[in-house]
């Protein structure tokens, strides 16, 4: 069984609901998908410590998704003596280090005169995957993941994720879209192949037909056919009052700490 729990359901600027991230559990695996700055409290709220986290998947490099990684890296290395696996494509992991983490983690206090630069591998066991194909997370557990390239910000590498015990069985598969603009083909795939579809949702349009939006807007989702809307759980929303998603044909807005499991 795969269990997906929301450690945060809010948008980048949410104060009430924490920034969106999930904990994926299957057997001995506890995988964080994204790691924003609220991760310290989020982990504690679930009765866990960073030492319990076996894997971290990075979907893209915006701060609300990686802002807690530097603290996690230092805590794991120097306090917990723990080296979790960090998972993404080779290109995204390279950019994560060079443009986001290197400034704070390249040099650490050590013997006077020893200025040996550190690398991402000194903090994490790096696991590179190929996008657009299934990847077995562990030889000891059946869970697999599939990274779909998502259309979030022009020029930025970004992914939606499917998790499955058996990709041929709908009831064994969950889709987490991450941050994405509307992708009708992905939604049609998810309708036919995923038990739970957990979808990005901005509460406002950014220009006419969300022209300047980098997230899928609620107004766009309302225009989807009923057979698609009835499959969708919504997250990544702001702190303003929520529309009546169930009345509009959706399964609802995901609440902080809500969980989903495969059958």
Which of the following is catalytic: 107, 125, 171, 227? 107
Annotated catalytic residue within 25, 70, 75, 208: 70
If DSSP states are collapsed to H, E and C, what string results for the chain? CCEEEEEECECCCCCCCCECEEEEEECCEEEEECCCCCHHHHHHHCCCCHHHCCEEECCCCCHHHHCCHHHHHHHHHHHHCCCCEEEEEHHHHHHHHHHHHHHHHCCCCCCCCCCCCCCHHHHCEEEEECCCCEEEEECCEEEEEEEEECCCCCCCCCEEEEEECCCCCHHHEEEECCCCCCCHHHHHHHHHHCCEEEEECECCCCCHHHCCCCCCEHHHHHCCCHHHHCCEEEECECCCCCCCCCCCCCCEECCCCCEEECC
- Told to judge if 70 belongs to the known catalytic residues of this protein, a careful annotator would answer yes
Active site positions, annotated: 70, 107
């Amino acid at each position: 069984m795969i269990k997906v729990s929301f450690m945060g359901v809010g948008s980048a600027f949410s104060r009430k609901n924490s920034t969106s991230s999930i904990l994926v559990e299957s057997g001995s695996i506890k995988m964080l998908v994204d790691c924003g700055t609220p991760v310290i409290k989020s982990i504690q709220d679930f009765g866990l410590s960073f030492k319990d986290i076996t894997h971290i998947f990075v979907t893209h490099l915006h701060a609300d998704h990686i802002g807690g990684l530097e603290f996690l890296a230092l805590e794991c290395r120097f306090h917990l003596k723990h080296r979790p696996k960090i998972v993404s494509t080779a290109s995204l992991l390279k950019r994560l280090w060079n443009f986001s983490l290197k400034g704070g983690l390249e040099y650490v206090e050590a013997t006077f005169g020893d200025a040996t630069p550190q690398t991402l591998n000194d903090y994490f066991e790096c696991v590179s995957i190929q996008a657009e194909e299934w990847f077995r997370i562990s030889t000891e557990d059946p869970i697999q993941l599939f990274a779909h390239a998502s259309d979030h910000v022009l020029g930025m590498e970004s992914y939606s994720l499917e998790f499955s015990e058996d990709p041929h069985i709908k009831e064994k598969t969950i889709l987490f879209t991450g941050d994405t603009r509307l992708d009708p083909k992905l939604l049609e795939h998810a309708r036919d192949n995923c038990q739970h579809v957990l979808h990005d949702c901005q509460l406002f349009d950014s220009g006419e037909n969300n022209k300047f939006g980098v997230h899928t807007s609620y107004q766009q989702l309302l225009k989807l056919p009923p057979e698609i809307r009835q499959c969708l759980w919504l997250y990544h929303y702001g702190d303003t009052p929520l529309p009546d998603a169930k009345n509009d044909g959706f399964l609802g807005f995901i609440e902080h700490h809500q969980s989903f499991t495969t059958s």
